[in-house]
Structure 1
Amino acid sequence: MPLSRKSRSGFGWRTLLPWMVGAFPIACGIAVMNWQIERDLQAGSRASAQQVIEHVERILDGASRTAIALLPLAGTPCAEAQLLLRGEVTRNAFIRSTNLVKQDRLYCSSLFGAFDEPVTASDYVDGHLWLMDGNSVTPGHPLLIYRASDKDRAAITTVDGDHLLMALRLLGAGHALYLRVGSAWMGRDGIVHQGPAPVAISAPVFIASAHYPFSVEGGYMAPQSSRLWRSHYLALLGLLAVLGVLAGVACHWQVRRATSPRAELRRALEADEFLPYFQPVVRRGDYRWAGAEVLMRWNHPSEGLVRPDLFIPYAEHSGQIVAMTRSLIKHTASSLAPYAALMDDGFHIGINITADHCRSLELLDDCRAFLAHFPPGRVILTLELTERKLLEPSPTTLELFEQLHEIGVMIALDDFGTGQSSLNYLRQFKVDYLKIDQSFVALIGGDALSVAVLETIIELSVKLGLGIVAEGVETLVQRDYLEQHGVHFQQGYLYAKPMPAAEFLQTLAAQPAASRLPQSTPPEIMRG
């Protein structure tokens, strides 16, 4: 935040503070890097495990579909079913064999045809999945078996363990990951074990499949922090040291000139440095100015115009935004009232408010005083409620909104769709307008999800009978899209940037087909 008054010179903490500030980012940086290393290791383990999960699930999706498709054949003579069993094997790259079971006896196989082998349903976890360490054809070679059953009939599909090994070795490179089905587990060695798997030393992970009864666990079997420090963070540590020095120098400079931000805002308010800037709002169809949003600017004596994002958040946090807004309302009325003839009846003037403004009825008096400056019906005052602070539906707030509506003041929800309480506000308060945040408008023609949200907001406003204003319109594509979707008002750089009062009035007077013009052009308008 810009500060205009210099602080007194001093010793003690003022001398020590820059050194502390310089050391602080280094200490914090080291702590954060240690945290980030652990976080990266954990994220790497989890990502690799998740990839293995997804790969095995894709394999089992095919095995499951095949088993379910073959289940109606269970009980059919093997001579009739064998060709169909082999056909399913050829259509699925991961399936090694398909089999039919009747009354707990495997009687038909795609490999051997007619067969006779007992099948124990309890071997299958949840009745579906079994991790085997081999069979009579390939002893010691892992197999993953999927079983689909219906009463005394079942269909079994066999997945070769090589597909599982490929997932563990390629997707889990650098990690020690284990595929577990029930009490059986298999690692990168391709051997099926029973019981607990080795415990990871670093970044342990456990992820269970949401679709099948298996899981992937593991992590790093050796410490990894020192390796990452050497390979990733030595240069960053040097940068932190440079930043620490710069922070100490900056703090030393700031201590010598800084004052309290609260005091600086109070000084600026007393010096009348907060000025209204106006950004026009155009109506649908003819795109004539239907009103303007009033934006606060700080005309700092040494820094010039200060961006609102540098002082508005602090003003809201400190509670000074109410006094600053009251000053802005008075400035707006005194700037526009002498030239009210330039405006069509129902000219909208929008002013931003926060939850702090709604905790007393003083805002009602400010609005009455503002409207008293203009002929009846000439100006419609719209209060644009932001969500940077949560507004509770207290009796005072509800009474305030009710009385505001009685004197003709409208309420708009600013940046609708980005806050956490927009829908609650619609339910709790009587609202007249929704203002679509520019982040949605900017993605028109691009991101399908954001456009879908935008269309939903527009549809919601129609169903609720609310007016709608789109902010941040910068292109003809955006303008035409909003026009086609029935948005009542638009606002953005396509039409005009925020401008001081004199420029705003000059441009307003020059509008073609203006219904009102002043009897004589004010000198300050002529000067621009």
Structure 2
Amino acid sequence: MPLTVKRPARWSWRRLLPWAVGTLPILCGLAIMHWQIERDLRDNSQATVQQVVNHVERILDGVSTAAQALLPLAGRPCSEVTLALREQVTRNAFVRSTNLFNHDTLYCSSLLGDYDEPVNPLDYTEGQLWLMDGNSITPGHPLLVYRTGQEGRGAIATVDGDHLLTALRLIADDETLGIQIGRHWLGADGLVHTGTPPTAASAHVSQYSARYPFSVHGGYGPDKPMEVLRSQYPALLGLLLVIGALIGLACRWQLRRASSSRAELNRALEANEFIPYFQPVVRKGDYRWAGAEVLMRWQHPHEGLVRPDLFIPYAEHSGQIVPMTRALMLLTAQGLAPYSALMEDGFHIGINITADHCRDLGLLDDCRTFLQHFPPGRVILTLELTERKLIEATPITLELFEKLHQMGVMIALDDFGTGQSSLNYLRQFKIDYLKIDQSFVAMIGSDALSQHILDTIIDLSTKLELGIVAEGVETDVQRDYLARQQVDFQQGYLYARPMPLEEFLQALAAQPASLRLPQGVPPEIMPG
């Protein structure tokens, strides 16, 4: 049940915290899974790139062998070496053509025989490899050219770009790969580009050949990690969601438990937030303060002063009212005891109790501790029975009431006339006072039926020789009527509202001395 009338904020931290706590393991799990996926993708990419490097090196090994075999023929007439050039093409599956050059001029080709074309060593990376975007025979078709020579003459062997594309497309069809030679690079699209290959969005890897001047770059697109997550980790992803939901629910349950009425009342009890308020009770005739009813108030650190109707019923329902009352009695005794000289002998202090207080004899110790704070006879403790819970006449209850009377503690029946068991209580227990409920007092002069009931209660108390206290007196008409009916005590806003301890002591000290103090009270006891 709510302890204040304030509505909780729609997006308070208590509402958001379970979501945050539940989301945290999911985010951490996703982060770990993403790291693992990136690591696996990088390992896969590294392995793939290494395979491409090895494959291209095997191609170049064959091409290099063919070129090295033709190197001694460089400079000889084309008609003498044409057959040898074509023989190397036939023997090596990767070699598309072989050529010889002399004085940096290509003069003999396995495809065309005699030929005349300049050879620029600067076109070749490290003078050895050149990635071409086609030639005059196959324009726009990639070629890999291998050159070897010395002193301006040597051999050239070409590789069809399809052999390179096979490595790029078949070794890893879901990976972005590229072969770079100098300023040019070949991608899986089959085109030769100028510049630097683009960096892969995920698991980018670059591997350089230790034997030839080329490198291979690989990696995956931006959607690859999520694709792997969905395809390979659905069970783990589901487990994360379940764990996150369970943790969020556990956090919500714990917060609800920690912020529950029971937990909040326990916290307030430990923090001494339940404080006494005092409403004076005046006697008939001279209307002097004959005592005060102690009312429990909750001084909440954030909500301020909490109304008793918002927490007392729950405290009685949960059984926490007993330790709360015990703490209230102790605070009351400690607060009043230093100023006991302000009170006349027999000053009544009323404390409300319920059925929970009557289930064992622990109340005796609480009352004894309370009375020990005051000089003998200075205070009369009155326990006011409320009827929100039925008090059963068990042997323990009867023994409790008997010992309370032996101790000098009086019993009052609170709100008499409104509960279902008031008359039973009069028959079963020894009652000292009846407290007339304010609903009857409020009808004085306006409701004939309620006034007849009031007169009957007063007549009953007289016949049973019980004291009587009228609650809720707010007007002079009510005061005077009760005075004519010889009601012993009156209590209500006409005389004073409930007030905290300091204000009560100040008001008590401000009464005329002839009405309240014995002679010789030292001024230093007066509260400031």
Alignment TM-score, normalising by the size of structure 1: 0.52
How much has 1:7 moved relative to structure 2?
A: 3.7
Q: Name structure 2 gaps, 5 residues minimum.
A: 24-251
Q: Which amino acid aligns with 1:289?
A: W
Q: Which amino acid aligns with 1:453?
A: I
SS of the residue corresponding to residue 351 of structure 2 reads strand
Structure 1 pair 282/334, CA: closer, same or farther in 2 (3 Å)? same
2:411 corresponding residue in structure 1: 411
Q: Hey, what's the Cα distance between the residues in 2 that align with 1:473 and 1:460? A: 20
How much has 1:519 moved relative to structure 2?
A: 1.2
Q: Which amino acid aligns with 1:462?
A: T
SS of the residue corresponding to residue 376 of structure 1 reads coil
Q: Hey, what's the Cα distance between the residues in 1 that align with 2:256 and 2:343? A: 49
1:520 corresponding residue in structure 2: 523
1:82 corresponding residue in structure 2: none
Q: Which amino acid aligns with 1:449?
A: L
How much has 1:259 moved relative to structure 2?
A: 1.3
Q: Which amino acid aligns with 2:376?
A: P
Structure 1 pair 6/324, CA: closer, same or farther in 2 (3 Å)? farther
How much has 1:304 moved relative to structure 2?
A: 0.6
Q: Which amino acid aligns with 1:386?
A: T
Alignment of 1:200-215 (within 5 A): none
How much has 1:412 moved relative to structure 2?
A: 0.2
How much has 1:482 moved relative to structure 2?
A: 0.2
Q: Hey, what's the Cα distance between the residues in 1 that align with 2:21 and 2:424? A: 48
Q: Which amino acid aligns with 1:336?
A: L
1:452 corresponding residue in structure 2: 452
Q: Hey, what's the Cα distance between the residues in 1 that align with 2:308 and 2:441? A: 21
Alignment of 1:273-288 (within 5 A): 273-288=273-288
SS of the residue corresponding to residue 411 of structure 1 reads strand
1:300 corresponding residue in structure 2: 300
How much has 1:357 moved relative to structure 2?
A: 0.3
Structure 1 residue 399 corresponds to structure 2 residue 391:
no
SS of the residue corresponding to residue 327 of structure 2 reads helix
1:473 corresponding residue in structure 2: 473
SS of the residue corresponding to residue 340 of structure 1 reads helix
SS of the residue corresponding to residue 297 of structure 1 reads strand
Preserved contact between residue 274 and residue 299 of structure 2 (Cα < 8 Å): yes
Q: Which has the larger radius of gyration?
A: 2
Cα deviations by residue, 1:306-347 (Å, 9 ceiling, x for unpaired): 010000000000100000000000000000011110110100
Q: Hey, what's the Cα distance between the residues in 2 that align with 1:409 and 1:456? A: 27
Structure 1 residue 436 corresponds to structure 2 residue 444:
no
Cα deviations by residue, 1:160-195 (Å, 9 ceiling, x for unpaired): xxxxxxxxxxxxxxxxxxxxxxxxxxxxxxxxxxxx
How much has 1:257 moved relative to structure 2?
A: 11
SS of the residue corresponding to residue 295 of structure 1 reads strand
Structure 1 residue 335 corresponds to structure 2 residue 343:
no
Structure 1 pair 267/285, CA: closer, same or farther in 2 (3 Å)? same
Q: Hey, what's the Cα distance between the residues in 2 that align with 1:470 and 1:388? A: 20
Q: Which amino acid aligns with 1:305?
A: L
2:350 corresponding residue in structure 1: 350
SS of the residue corresponding to residue 10 of structure 1 reads helix
Structure 1 pair 353/257, CA: closer, same or farther in 2 (3 Å)? closer
Structure 1 pair 261/456, CA: closer, same or farther in 2 (3 Å)? same
Structure 1 pair 473/13, CA: closer, same or farther in 2 (3 Å)? farther
Q: Which amino acid aligns with 1:330?
A: L
Cα deviations by residue, 1:348-387 (Å, 9 ceiling, x for unpaired): 0000000000001010010011111111111000000000
2:317 corresponding residue in structure 1: 317
How much has 1:520 moved relative to structure 2?
A: 2.6
Preserved contact between residue 382 and residue 412 of structure 2 (Cα < 8 Å): yes
Preserved contact between residue 333 and residue 373 of structure 1 (Cα < 8 Å): yes
How much has 1:300 moved relative to structure 2?
A: 0.1
1:265 corresponding residue in structure 2: 265
SS of the residue corresponding to residue 349 of structure 2 reads strand
How much has 1:13 moved relative to structure 2?
A: 13
Structure 1 pair 10/412, CA: closer, same or farther in 2 (3 Å)? same
SS of the residue corresponding to residue 390 of structure 1 reads coil
SS of the residue corresponding to residue 511 of structure 1 reads coil
Q: Given the alignment, which residue of 18, 25, 30 partners 1:10?
A: 18
Alignment of 1:483-502 (within 5 A): 483-502=483-502
Q: Hey, what's the Cα distance between the residues in 2 that align with 1:492 and 1:455? A: 19
Alignment of 1:66-105 (within 5 A): none
Q: Hey, what's the Cα distance between the residues in 2 that align with 1:258 and 1:491? A: 39
Deviates most, 507-516 or 495-504:
507-516
Q: Which amino acid aligns with 2:381?
A: L
Preserved contact between residue 276 and residue 295 of structure 1 (Cα < 8 Å): yes
Cα deviations by residue, 1:80-101 (Å, 9 ceiling, x for unpaired): xxxxxxxxxxxxxxxxxxxxxx
Preserved contact between residue 338 and residue 525 of structure 2 (Cα < 8 Å): no
Structure 1 pair 314/520, CA: closer, same or farther in 2 (3 Å)? same
Q: Which amino acid aligns with 1:287?
A: Y
Alignment TM-score, normalising by the size of structure 2: 0.52
Q: Hey, what's the Cα distance between the residues in 2 that align with 1:381 and 1:14? A: 54
Preserved contact between residue 383 and residue 410 of structure 1 (Cα < 8 Å): yes
Preserved contact between residue 275 and residue 296 of structure 2 (Cα < 8 Å): yes
Cα deviations by residue, 1:45-83 (Å, 9 ceiling, x for unpaired): xxxxxxxxxxxxxxxxxxxxxxxxxxxxxxxxxxxxxxx
Q: Name structure 1 gaps, 5 residues minimum.
A: 16-251
1:463 corresponding residue in structure 2: 463
Q: Hey, what's the Cα distance between the residues in 2 that align with 1:313 and 1:304? A: 19
User: Sequence identity, in percent?
Assistant: 74
Structure 1 pair 12/421, CA: closer, same or farther in 2 (3 Å)? farther
Structure 1 pair 271/481, CA: closer, same or farther in 2 (3 Å)? same
CA RMSD, 1 decimal: 2.4
Structure 1 pair 11/419, CA: closer, same or farther in 2 (3 Å)? same
Structure 1 pair 345/302, CA: closer, same or farther in 2 (3 Å)? same
Q: Hey, what's the Cα distance between the residues in 2 that align with 1:257 and 1:389? A: 26
Aligned residues: 287
Q: Hey, what's the Cα distance between the residues in 1 that align with 2:481 and 2:318? A: 40
Q: Hey, what's the Cα distance between the residues in 1 that align with 2:377 and 2:412? A: 19
Structure 1 pair 261/464, CA: closer, same or farther in 2 (3 Å)? same
SS of the residue corresponding to residue 18 of structure 2 reads coil
Q: Which amino acid aligns with 2:523?
A: S
Structure 1 residue 509 corresponds to structure 2 residue 517:
no
Preserved contact between residue 339 and residue 518 of structure 1 (Cα < 8 Å): no
Cα deviations by residue, 1:381-424 (Å, 9 ceiling, x for unpaired): 00000000000000000000000000100000000000000000
How much has 1:518 moved relative to structure 2?
A: 4.1
1:367 corresponding residue in structure 2: 367
Q: Hey, what's the Cα distance between the residues in 2 that align with 1:492 and 1:444? A: 14
How much has 1:515 moved relative to structure 2?
A: 2.3
How much has 1:451 moved relative to structure 2?
A: 0.3
Preserved contact between residue 431 and residue 466 of structure 2 (Cα < 8 Å): yes
SS of the residue corresponding to residue 332 of structure 2 reads helix
SS of the residue corresponding to residue 389 of structure 1 reads coil
SS of the residue corresponding to residue 496 of structure 2 reads coil
Q: Hey, what's the Cα distance between the residues in 1 that align with 2:487 and 2:334? A: 31
SS of the residue corresponding to residue 511 of structure 2 reads coil
Q: Which amino acid aligns with 2:482?
A: L
